[in-house]
Structure 1
Amino acid sequence: MTPTPLPAPKVLANPLIRRTVFIFGWFSLVMGVIGIFLPLLPTTPFILLAAACFARSSPRFYAWITSHHRYGPMIANYLAGRGLPVKAKVMAISLLWISVSFTLFIVSLLWAKLAMLATALAVSVYIIWRLPTLKTG
């Protein structure tokens, strides 16, 4: 069952901030699409970020992305608090740790390595224990 798109929150009043958020939404969407083809670039967080940006900057594009045949159900379920499917959670955590592990070999600064590890651990904990798992079937 495809969930219906959620109504967009109130659009930002300041036109300059609204345009900036809109541009950042498109940047996030493009990064998410690139992430489909590049294994080290995560798709899901960028698509969710694009939806959040469009929600505050463009009701038209928010409706488009939340009703998209591929990403719409995931976005709508996430924004409604129903969570993400197990497959999306496993993929997000796997790609997160692959990219962090790869980056740890490149970066030589200890504080940067520790910050990346702490961030990856925090995101993993959030995805596993705080983010609801979508019940399918």
Structure 2
Amino acid sequence: MTRPPSRFRVLWVALGFVLCGLGVLGLILPGFPGTVWFILAAAAFSRGDPRWEAWLLSRPVVGDLIRDYRAGLGMPLRAKWIACACIVLAVAFSLGRIPVLVGQVVWVLIGLAGVLFITLRVPTRRNMP
């Protein structure tokens, strides 16, 4: 993969830190996923500066999750159920706060897309290595 120009690499690194911040929030806040943000942060760091990607991959727990995702090992079945339930609950509880019907429909479709992605595209790991 060719490296982007240096001005874009700075933006990729900045995006990586923003995504890491969201990942940390996901570890703290119930119902807010964390792993997906760390996976996206690793992807952003890989485009911006491999040293930051290596730093993120060296973090305990987070690094293992990213490596498992990249290796195609998928998610444990229990984690998939929890992730889908969190998406459904988040959409259900926030739906009433969207005043426009079109916005509500779009929000439900986004939630549905998330659930479909997790159930159909993310491999299921039935046994923990």
TM-score after normalising by structure 1: 0.83
Write the deviation string for residues 20-74 of structure 1: whole angstroms up to 9, x where unpaired. Answer: 1110110010111012222243212211111111111111111121232111111
* 1:136 corresponds to: 128
Moved over 6 A (4+): none
Instruction: Give secondary structure in 2 for the equivalent of 1:106.
Output: coil
**Bigger shift: 95-104 or 18-27?**
95-104
- Structure 1: tracts of 5 or more residues without a match: 1-9
Alignment of 1:89-108 (within 5 A): 89-108=80-99
Alignment length, in residue pairs? Answer: 128
Matched, 1:23 2:14: yes
Percent sequence identity over aligned pairs: 31
Relative CO higher for 1 or 2, CA cutoff 8 Å, sep ≥ 6?
1
For 2:29, which of 23, 34, 38 is the aligned residue? 38
For 1:126, which of 117, 121, 124 is the aligned residue? 117
How far off is 1:76 after superposition? Answer: 0.6
Give the Cα–Cα distance (whole angstroms) in 2 for the partners of residues 132 and 91 of structure 1. 15
TM-score after normalising by structure 2: 0.88
Query: Superposition RMSD on alpha carbons, in Å?
Result: 1.7
* 2:107 corresponds to: 116
